[in-house]
């Protein structure tokens, strides 16, 4: 681990000012010399592994703005402060009632200890767990642009079947993000070029030729909040996560589903898929297929087929296509059968 400067700015503008002082316009947040740290459960790990090498850390935990720490429920929806811990949001009564899919996506992630430490903004920005990315002796385009991708023809059981490129097939492993993208969340940021509202679906970038560019954020932009619009039928929603063991493991496949039903007929469906794609993945084609249809084994199956129509398997991850489809079918039927 390299020595680094550690600073604790006390308000957002000071943090932004420090960040813009030490970074340039073109710096990627994950590659800049100065980086933000919140819970540190992802970044500190990467610093120890030599994957991230900032020489200055700006700790966001001393920021005094209360809005960063609140969960506010209004007519318009829910607003999550960026520094709210995963555990707080998972246990929040109204989140559990109104958006079970959000609460469950958080409850089924990581471990109790990590959920108490990790922030919501840090969570959505968590980086891939690709084994070759995390160990610096391997070739990895994401870590060292142009060096190659050791996973492509290596051991790629956990890698993505959707949204990959010739340069990178690393999975986006977060769970919370699937609920957010399904519910049309918006990310609020503040940076040297002002405040922005970024649709959650625009936050992450597919790898393409530039897998080292992971998000739409600038190096001096701070996420301050995540807003989820009101969704009266959000109660009929769930997060289904399939993994190798019962707890404390990333998804092999997951599905975030919310349904607006008229009897057994789908008025509207929201579907996102985790564990199978390079970025948080909204399955719009599947949603369209279900619209106006009776939800049963057949229509759920057709939606799942549509969701994975473009899937590209590699040597060890082909099973994720079948598993992803079955996960979605199961999630749809279980959501249909929810008592709300």
Partner 1 sequence: MDAAAPRPKENQGEPLPRVDARLKVTGQAHYPADLPAANIAYGALATSSIARGKVTKLRLDDARAVPGLLDIVTYGDMDKVDKPKFGNSGATSIGPLHDRTIFHDGQIIALAVAETFEAAEEAAQLIRAEYEEDRPTASFDSPGTKTVAAAGKSPMFKEDVKAGDFDAAFAAAAVKIDQRYSTPTQHHNPIELFSTTAYWQGDQLVVHEPSQNVTGWKVELARQLKMDPANVRIVSPFIGGAFGSKGPMTPRTAIVAVAAKRLGRPVRCVTSRMQAFGTQTYRAETRHRIRIGAGKDGRITAFAHEGWEVTSRPDLYVVGGTSATGRMYGYGSVLTHVSLVQADRNTPGYMRSPPETPYVYALENAMDEMAVALGMDPVEFRRINEPKTEPIGKKPFSSRSLIQCYDQAAEAFGWARRDPKIGAMRDGDWLIGMGCATAIYPTAVAPCAARVRLTVDGDVRLQCGSHEIGTGVRTVAGQMASERLGVAIDKISVEMGDSSLPPAPVSGGSISTASVCSAVLKACDAIRTKLFAAATAEGGPLAGSHNEEFELADGKIVAKSGASTKVEDVLKAMQVGAIEEYAEFAPKGATPEALKKLYAGTPEFHGGEQDEDSVKYAFGAEFVEVRINRYTKEIRVPRIVGAFAAGRIMNTRTARSQLMGGMIWGIGQALHEATEVDRRYARYVNRDLQDYLVPVNADIKDLQVILVPEIDHAVNPAGVKGLGELGNVGTAAAVASAVYHATGKRIRDLPIRIEQLLA
Ligand X SMILES: Cc1cc2nc3c(=O)[nH]c(=O)nc-3n(C[C@H](O)[C@H](O)[C@H](O)COP(=O)(O)OP(=O)(O)OC[C@H]3O[C@@H](n4cnc5c(N)ncnc54)[C@H](O)[C@@H]3O)c2cc1C
Which is nearer to partner 1, 24 or 248 (by Cβ)? Answer: 248
List the single partner that 110 binds among partner 1, ligand SF4, ligand X, none, CB under 5 to 8 Å by kind.
ligand X
Draw the binding track, 134-173, toward partner 1 (x: CB under 8 A; -: no contact): xxxx------------x--xxx-xx---------------
37 lies in the binding site for partner 1 (CB under 8 A): no
Draw the binding track, 235-264, toward partner 1 (x: CB under 8 A; -: no contact): -------xxxxxxxx--xx-----------
128 lies in the binding site for ligand SF4 (CB under 6 A): yes
Cα separation, 109 vs 260, in Å, equals 26
Draw the binding track, 168-197, toward ligand SF4 (x: CB under 6 A; -: no contact): xxx---------------------------
List the single partner that 244 binds among ligand SF4, ligand X, partner 1, none, CB under 5 to 8 Å by kind.
partner 1
Contact call for residues 178 and 208 (beta carbons, < 8 A): no
List the single partner that 82 binds among ligand SF4, ligand X, partner 1, none, CB under 5 to 8 Å by kind.
ligand X
Interhelix angle for 297-307 vs 319-336, to 10°? Answer: 140
- Please provide the distance, in angstroms rounded to a whole number, between the alpha carbons at the two ends of the chain: 50
Strand order in the sheet with 222-229: 71-74, 77-81, 222-229, 186-191, 194-199
Which is nearer to ligand X, 126 or 317 (by Cβ)? Answer: 126
Task: Give me the helices (H) in 112-256, please.
Answer: 112-117, 120-124, 131-134, 176-182, 200-203
Interface stretch with partner 1, choices 113-121, 175-183, 204-212, 317-325 (CB under 8 A): 317-325
Cα separation, 17 vs 234, in Å, equals 39
List the single partner that 119 binds among ligand SF4, partner 1, ligand X, none, CB under 5 to 8 Å by kind.
ligand X
- Fill in the DSSP letter of residue 197: E
Cα separation, 227 vs 279, in Å, equals 19
């Amino acid at each position: 681990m390299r020595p680094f400067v550690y600073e604790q700015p006390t308000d957002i503008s000071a943090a932004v000012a420090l960040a813009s002082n030490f970074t340039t316009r073109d710096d990627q947040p994950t590659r800049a010399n100065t980086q933000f740290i919140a819970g540190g459960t992802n970044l500190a790990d990467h610093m120890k592994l030599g994957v991230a090498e900032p020489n200055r850390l700006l700790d966001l935990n001393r920021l005094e703005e209360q809005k960063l720490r609140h969960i506010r429920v209004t007519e318009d929806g829910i607003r999550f402060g960026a520094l709210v811990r995963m555990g707080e949001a998972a246990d929040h009564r109204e989140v559990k009632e109104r958006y079970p899919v959000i609460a469950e996506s958080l409850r089924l992630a990581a471990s109790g200890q990590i959920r108490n430490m990790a922030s919501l903004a840090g969570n959505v920005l968590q980086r891939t767990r690709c084994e070759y990315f995390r160990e610096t002796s391997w070739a990895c385009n994401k870590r060292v642009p142009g060096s190659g991708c050791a996973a492509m023809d290596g051991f790629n059981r956990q890698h993505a079947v959707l949204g990959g490129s010739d340069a990178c097939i690393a999975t986006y492993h977060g769970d919370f993000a699937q609920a957010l993208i399904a519910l049309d969340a918006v990310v609020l940021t503040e940076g040297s070029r002002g405040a922005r509202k970024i649709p959650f679906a625009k936050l992450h970038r597919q790898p393409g030729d530039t897998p080292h560019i992971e998000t739409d954020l600038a190096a001096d932009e701070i996420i301050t909040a995540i807003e989820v619009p009101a969704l009266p039928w959000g109660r009929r929603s769930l997060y289904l996560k399939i993994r190798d063991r019962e707890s404390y493991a990333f998804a092999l496949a997951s599905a975030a589903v919310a349904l607006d039903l008229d009897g057994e007929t789908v008025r509207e469906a929201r579907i996102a898929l985790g564990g199978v794609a390079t970025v948080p993945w909204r399955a719009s084609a599947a949603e369209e297929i279900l619209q106006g249809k009776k939800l049963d084994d057949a229509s759920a199956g057709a939606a799942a087929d549509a969701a994975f129509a473009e899937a590209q398997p590699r040597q060890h991850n082909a099973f994720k296509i079948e598993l992803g489809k079955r996960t979605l079918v199961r999630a749809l039927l279980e959501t249909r059968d929810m008592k709300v």
